[in-house]
């Protein structure tokens, strides 16, 4: 019984690695791909921090909080994160999202399309986890919030004694700072969803994803 539980826990932590390997293989198969799908695969190949890293980079560029990006900012963001996309593919993606020809795109709309689709049940449990930590309801969580509420009891390295709770939490928090030139210890709701959208894509079973979230955040 204990052996089966342990195998299930370890299986949960290897699903993200499996998704990364699948994405790398698909990128290498030589077939033509839609630029947005190709960019999503590139993000998947980096694990849960891929899409998150791009969204953090865009947020840093959005000095005025308008949630819009110029063509130059869009290109620079993708380049800064180190994603392998050609100039023509970047131009194609930008043109598709600049529907009114204003020369800017809404970065939230773009990231919504880039994220793998999630059903309402999965999105709801992610939002529930975020809302539990966002104690003052300001739309963001801090490192302290996460430290108080994120459970490490299923983490293989915690179970084996390789890492302490604080070490695992510090490692986990680094994921939310991916792509941020100036880490600020703040996680927005959008960034939280971006992170878990990739975890979601690595887990086929809805009930298992629900269990992962509930156990991690004591829901």
Contacts of residues 182-185 at CB distance under 8 Å and 24 or more positions apart, as own/partner, are 182/60, 185/142, 185/143
Judgement on whether residues 146 and 98 belong to the same structural domain of the protein = no
Shared domain for 157 and 204, answered yes or no, is yes
Clarify whether residues 2 and 110 are in a common domain.
yes
Report helix, strand or coil for 152: coil
Predicted local distance difference test score (pLDDT) of residue 183: 65
pTM value is 0.71
Please check whether residues 125 and 109 belong to one and the same domain. no
In the predicted model, what is the mean pLDDT of the chain? 82
In the listed set 114, 139, 155, which residue is the last one of a domain according to the structure?
Answer: 114
2 in the same domain as 102? yes
pLDDT tier for residue 219 given thresholds of 50, 70 and 90: confident
Boundary-marking domain end, from 93, 114, 135? 114
Question: What element of type H or E holds 68?
Answer: strand 68-70
104 and 183 part of one domain: no
User: Which residues lie across from 70 on neighbouring strands?
Assistant: 104
Give the rounded percent of residues in the chain with a pLDDT score beyond 90.
Answer: 16
Q: Is 192 exposed, middle or buried (0-12, 13-18, 19+ CB in 10 A)?
A: buried
Per residue in 193-208, pLDDT (tens digit) is 988 988 888 888 899 9
Domain final position from 97, 114, 131: 114
Q: Which pLDDT tens digit goes with each residue over 132-150?
A: 888 778 888 876 776 777 7
Residue 181, pLDDT above cutoff 80: no
Residue 13 structural domain: 1-114
- Taking residues 72-94, report their average pLDDT: 88
| DSSP code, position 142 | E
Residue 1 has pLDDT above 50, yes or no: no
Same domain, 56 and 79: yes
d(CA 128, CA 126): 5
DSSP state of 60: H
Task: Give the pLDDT confidence score for residue 131 in this predicted structure.
Answer: 92
- Assess whether 46 and 132 both reside in one domain: no
- List Cα–Cα distances, 194 to 35, 51, 98, 178, in angstroms: 19, 6, 22, 12
d(CA 13, CA 37) in angstroms, rounded, equals: 25
CATH code of the domain containing 23: 1.10.238.10
Q: Output the DSSP codes for 82-114.
A: T----HHHHHHHHHHH-TT-SSEEEHHHHHHHH
What average pLDDT does range 156-184 have in this prediction? 76
Domain identity same for 97 and 187:
no
**Same domain membership, residue 198 and residue 176:** yes
- What is the predicted pLDDT for the residue at 145? 76
DSSP 137: -
Length of the chain: 219
Same structural domain for residues 135 and 198?
Answer: yes
Residue 125 has pLDDT above 90, yes or no: yes
Q: How many CB atoms lie within 10 A of CB 53?
A: 26
Kindly state whether residues 57 and 105 are assigned to the same domain.
yes
Q: pLDDT band at residue 180, thresholds of 50, 70 and 90?
A: low
Query: How many domains are there within the chain?
Result: 2
Three-state secondary structure call for residue 140: strand
**pLDDT (tens digit, 9 = 90+) per residue, 9-67?**
445 557 788 888 888 999 898 888 899 899 899 988 888 778 888 888 888 787 777 88
């Amino acid at each position: 019984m204990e052996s089966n539980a342990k195998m299930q826990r370890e299986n949960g932590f290897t699903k993200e690695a499996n998704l990364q390997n699948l994405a790398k293989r698909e990128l290498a198969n030589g077939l033509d791909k839609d630029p947005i799908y190709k960019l999503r695969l590139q993000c998947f190949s980096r694990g849960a921090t891929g899409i998150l890293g791009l969204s953090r980079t865009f947020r840093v560029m959005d000095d005025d909080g308008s949630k819009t990006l110029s063509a130059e900012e869009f290109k620079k963001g993708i380049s800064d994160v180190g994603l392998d996309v050609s100039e023509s593919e970047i131009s194609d993606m930008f043109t598709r999202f600049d529907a009114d020809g204003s020369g800017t795109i809404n970065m939230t709309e773009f990231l919504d399309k880039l994220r793998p689709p999630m059903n309402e049940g999965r999105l709801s449990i992610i939002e529930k986890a975020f809302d539990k930590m966002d104690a003052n309801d300001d739309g963001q969580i801090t490192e302290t919030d996460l430290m108080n509420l994120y459970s490490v009891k299923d983490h293989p390295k915690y179970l084996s004694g390789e890492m302490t709770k604080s070490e695992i939490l510090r490692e986990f928090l680094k994921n939310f700072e991916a792509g941020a030139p100036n880490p600020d210890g703040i996680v927005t709701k959008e960034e939280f969803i971006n992170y878990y959208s990739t975890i979601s894509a690595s887990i086929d079973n809805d009930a298992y994803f629900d269990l992962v979230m509930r156990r991690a955040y004591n829901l």
